[in-house]
């Protein structure tokens, strides 16, 4: 819902017009929330330091299987140790997306449903999906993005070379689309909480996230077929890697963008549908 | 009511609750994907290694599915930290048995009930993946002992780690680091025979490997069955229990019983 609201500045400045409730206004409120989170993070720098140190430990554990398996892999199905490390970098990027954009918002949704705060948040002007599910930022996990980029650079230096310039551009498109898809999947996983009140969607997100730790082509043929069609998680880490190495056809980035768009449309539809069945609840 | 009777009554109640809330049971099945993902990786890597065949790694990771399903580290470590943080631990201290035990009934019953669909899944996966189990009577006996003693040792280990919550508060990031070490030392990341020399030895000496990966390597025929495995677990259990007995009162002196 969008409307023109005329308001007067507290200092008796001339009246200014603000379009309240439009998409632009929503983005401004989301941005304001993020800035607030960043300012809080500067006040609690200890959290950021601990978060960075823990993230650095975890990246070692995350790549451990690939490092060990890499000694025995050789050129197995094209997935050398360096290429698997590159895939791990994308996986870690998705981990950053999860902790920075998803976890705080999805957990916040679950809490707000139980204590009744969601009722109030839904009355705020603007797009409710974006405001509720993207309004908070997990600032202490922001360094994960830098760690992922560092890991990718190391993998490239170790031999995971790109196919060419167009493949790098295609990879960036795929990575952005995959990040959007991951956020959408995380939100979708928590939607049942709106009507069930208690639903642990994080287990589903973690399952999908963990399946992406290894290239989808390494799974048994029937699982690979499942992950490429009915449950297309192959688009999250495997396809961006394959596009980067130049192993995928030129139209694959377009498929990723279309898939992300379709997922967003489905998410918006299901969000509205769930909210229609939402009843205020206070525990 | 005696301590044992009240604990049994609680376990019975939690088993009914776990069965009633079947959605949680189904959600728990998603936790199986980590061993399956690593199985896919090692099926590819093992064939060229000459150490294990792909069918043996399949058997190894199917056993890991069972042992990790019974591992309650997350519930113990985060469950205890959460009860310290909220002050709920104060109430648990009034119970007629050690308050540490109060964390166990709900996750234990959920894990045991999950074993029913897991058994069916293991049968199907053994057939679908042509998993190569190498089982004799002696191997089966050692495996059962490992499973039982290993579970006790891992619970004691996690209890000890959980006590650190009384020093570091509800820092989930630091508490969660345990699981990184657990991934490597338990054999979830890779069987010990694939690890670089010293790390493989460290793994085989740790109770986490004996509790999780040891049974997998035993039943896939990579490790020769020996009495040293359950005996060393017995030594670990005695040591960990003594350490927990020493650490528990010292840790509890730090509990301020202030919740949020």
**Confidence category of residue A9, pLDDT binned at 50, 70, 90:** very low
ipTM of model: 0.76
Q: What is the pLDDT of residues B62-80, one digit of tens each?
A: 999 989 888 888 888 888 8
B257 in any annotated domain = no
- pTM (2 d.p.): 0.82
Helix crossing, B228-252 with B137-162: angle to 10°?
Answer: 20
| Geometric angle at alpha carbon B50, from B45 and B54, rounded to 5° | 50
In a domain, B140, yes or no: yes
Interfacial B residues in 22-81 facing A (CB < 8 Å): 23-24, 27-28, 30-31, 33-34, 36-38, 40-46, 48-49, 51
Give the separation between CA A110 and CA A205, rounded to whole angstroms.
15
**Distance separating alpha carbons of residues A201 and A189, to the nearest angstrom:** 5
Q: Is residue B214 a contact partner of residue B150, using CB atoms and an 8 Å limit?
A: yes
The mean-pLDDT minimum among A65-79, B153-167, B217-231 falls in A65-79
Which residues lie closer than 8 Å to A206 by C-beta, 6 or more apart?
A: B30
Is residue A12, in this structure, part of any structural domain at all? no
> Using an 8 Å Cβ cutoff, are A47 and A140 in contact?
yes
**In whole angstroms, what is the distance from residue A247 CA to residue A250 CA?**
9
Tens of pLDDT along B196-212?
Answer: 878 888 998 898 898 89
Contact B173 A54 (CB under 8 A): yes
**Cα(B233)–Cα(B202) distance, integer angstroms:** 14
Place A18 in a pLDDT band, splitting at 50, 70 and 90. low
Three-state DSSP at B88 gives coil
B1: pLDDT confidence band, cut at 50, 70 and 90? low
Residue B102 lies in a domain: yes
Q: Is residue A5 situated within a structural domain? A: no
- CA A226 to CA A279: how far, in whole Å? 36
Burial of A123 (0-12, 13-18, 19+ CB in 10 A): exposed
pLDDT at residue number A258: 96
With 60 as the cut, is the pLDDT of residue A17 above it? no
A65 and B CB contact within 8 Å: yes
Among A84, A202, A214, most B C-beta atoms within 10 A, so best to mutate, is A214
Determine which of B20, B40, B129, B194 to mutate to test the interface with A (most A C-beta atoms within 10 Å). B40
Q: Which residues of chain B does A94 touch, with a Cβ-Cβ cutoff of 8 Å?
A: none
Structure token pair of residue A116:
């009744």
Contacts of A253 (CB under 8 A, 6+ apart): A170, A171, A173, A174, A177, A243
Structural domain span for residue B131: 3-252
Cβ(A90)–Cβ(A98) below 8 Å: no
Chain A residues touching residue B44 (CB < 8 angstroms):
69, 73, 76-77, 79, 218
Contact A50 B174 (CB under 8 A): yes
What is the C-alpha to C-alpha distance for residues A39 and A43, in angstroms, rounded to an integer? 7
Reported confidence tier of residue B152, pLDDT bands at 50, 70, 90? very high
Instruction: With CB atoms and an 8 Å threshold, state whether B38 touches A64.
Output: no
* Cβ atoms within 10 Å, residue A231: 11
Query: Looking at the domain assignment, is residue B27 inside a domain?
Result: yes
Cβ contacts of B242-251, under 8 Å, gap ≥ 24: B243/B160, B244/B156, B244/B159, B244/B160, B247/B160, B247/B163, B248/B100, B248/B163, B251/B163, B251/B166, B251/B167
Give the N- to C-terminal CA distance of chain A in Å, as an integer: 30
A77 and chain B in contact, CB less than 8 A: yes
Please state, in angstroms and rounded to a whole number, the distance separating the CA atoms of residues A211 and B36: 8
Judged against a pLDDT cut of 50, whether residue A1 lies above it is answered with no
Structurally, how many domains does chain B consist of? 1
Q: Is the dihedral of CA A175, A176, A179, A181 positive or negative?
A: negative
The mean pLDDT of chain B is: 85
User: Which residue segment(s) compose the domain that A257 sits in?
Assistant: 17-276
- The total domain count for chain A is 1
What are the C-alpha distances in Å from B55 to residues A194, B7, B60? Answer: 44, 42, 9
Look at residues B110, B113, B76, B66 and name the one whose alpha carbon lies nearest to residue B213: B66
Q: Are B67 and B212 in contact (CB under 8 A)?
A: yes
Domain membership flag for residue A236: yes
**C-alpha A146, offset from chain centre:** 15
* Chain A: closest CA distance from residue B190 (Å): 6
Helices B3-20 & B105-129, crossing angle to 10 degrees? 50
CA dihedral A18, A21, A25, A27 (to 10 degrees): 180
Are A116 and A280 in contact, with CB atoms under 8 Å apart?
yes
* % chain B with pLDDT above 70: 91
Q: What are phi and psi of A17, to 5 degrees?
A: -105, 130
Where does the pLDDT of residue A22 fall: very low under 50, low under 70, confident under 90, or very high at 90 and above? confident
Mutation target for B interface from A220, A225, A226: give the one with most B CBs within 10 A: A220
Euclidean distance between CA atoms B122 and B131, whole angstroms: 10
Predicted local distance difference test score (pLDDT) of residue B5: 77
Strand partners, A5: A18
Name the pLDDT band for B7 (thresholds 50, 70, 90): confident
CB contact under 8 A, B180 and A214: no
Q: Is residue A31 part of a domain?
A: yes
Report, as an integer, the average pLDDT of B93-117.
80
Residues of B in contact with A220 (CB under 8 A): 40, 128-129
Report whether pLDDT(A195) > 90: no
């Amino acid at each position: 819902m969008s409307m023109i609201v005329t308001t007067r500045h507290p200092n008796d400045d001339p009246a200014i017009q603000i379009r309240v409730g439009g998409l632009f206004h929503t983005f401004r409120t989301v941005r304001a929330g993020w800035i607030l989170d960043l300012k809080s993070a500067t006040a609690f720098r200890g959290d950021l330091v601990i978060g960075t140190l823990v993230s650095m430990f975890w990246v070692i554990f995350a790549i451990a299987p690939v490092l060990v398996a890499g000694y025995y892999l050789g050129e197995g199905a094209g997935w050398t140790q360096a290429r698997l490390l590159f895939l791990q970098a994308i996986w870690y990027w998705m981990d950053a997306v999860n902790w920075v954009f998803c976890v705080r918002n999805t957990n916040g949704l679950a809490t707000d449903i139980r204590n009744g705060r969601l009722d109030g948040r839904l009355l705020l002007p603007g797009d409710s999906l974006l405001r509720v599910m993207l309004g908070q930022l997990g600032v202490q996990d922001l360094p994960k993005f830098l760690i992922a980029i560092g890991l990718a650079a190391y993998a490239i230096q170790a031999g995971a070379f790109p196919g060419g310039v167009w493949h790098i551009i295609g990879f960036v498109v795929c990575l952005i689309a995959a990040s959007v898809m991951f956020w959408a999947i995380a939100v979708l996983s928590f939607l049942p909480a709106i009507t069930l009140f208690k639903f642990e969607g994080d287990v589903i997100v973690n399952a999908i996230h963990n399946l992406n730790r290894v290239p989808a082509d390494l799974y048994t043929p029937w699982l690979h077929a499942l992950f490429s069609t009915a449950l297309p998680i192959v688009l999250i880490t495997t396809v961006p890697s394959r596009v980067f190495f130049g192993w995928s056809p030129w139209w694959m980035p377009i498929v990723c963008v279309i898939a992300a768009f379709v997922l967003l449309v489905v998410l918006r539809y299901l969000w509205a549908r769930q909210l229609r069945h939402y009843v205020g609840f206070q525990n | 009511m005696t301590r044992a009777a009240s604990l049994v009554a609680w376990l019975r109640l939690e088993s009914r609750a776990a069965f009633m809330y079947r959605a949680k049971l189904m959600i728990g099945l998603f936790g199986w994907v980590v061993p399956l993902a690593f199985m896919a990786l090692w099926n590819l890597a093992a064939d060229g290694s000459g150490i294990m065949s792909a069918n043996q790694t399949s058997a190894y990771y199917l056993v890991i599915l069972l042992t990790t399903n019974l591992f309650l580290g997350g519930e113990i470590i985060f469950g205890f930290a959460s009860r310290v943080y909220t002050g709920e631990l104060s109430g648990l201290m009034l119970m007629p048995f050690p308050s540490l035990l109060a964390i166990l009934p709900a996750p234990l019953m959920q894990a045991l009930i999950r074993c029913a669909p897991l058994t069916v899944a293991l049968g199907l996966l053994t057939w679908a993946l042509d998993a190569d189990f190498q089982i004799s009577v002696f191997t089966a006996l050692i495996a059962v002992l490992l499973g039982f003693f290993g579970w006790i040792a891992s619970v004691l280990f996690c209890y000890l780690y959980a006590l650190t919550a009384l020093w570091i508060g509800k820092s989930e990031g630091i508490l969660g680091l345990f699981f990184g070490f657990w991934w490597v030392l338990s054999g979830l990341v890779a069987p010990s025979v694939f690890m670089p020399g010293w790390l493989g030895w460290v793994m085989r000496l740790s109770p986490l490997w004996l509790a999780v990966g040891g049974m997998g390597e035993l039943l896939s025929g990579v490790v020769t069955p020996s009495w040293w495995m359950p005996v060393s677990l017995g030594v670990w259990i005695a040591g960990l229990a003594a350490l927990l007995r020493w650490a528990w009162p010292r840790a509890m002196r730090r509990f301020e019983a202030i919740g949020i």
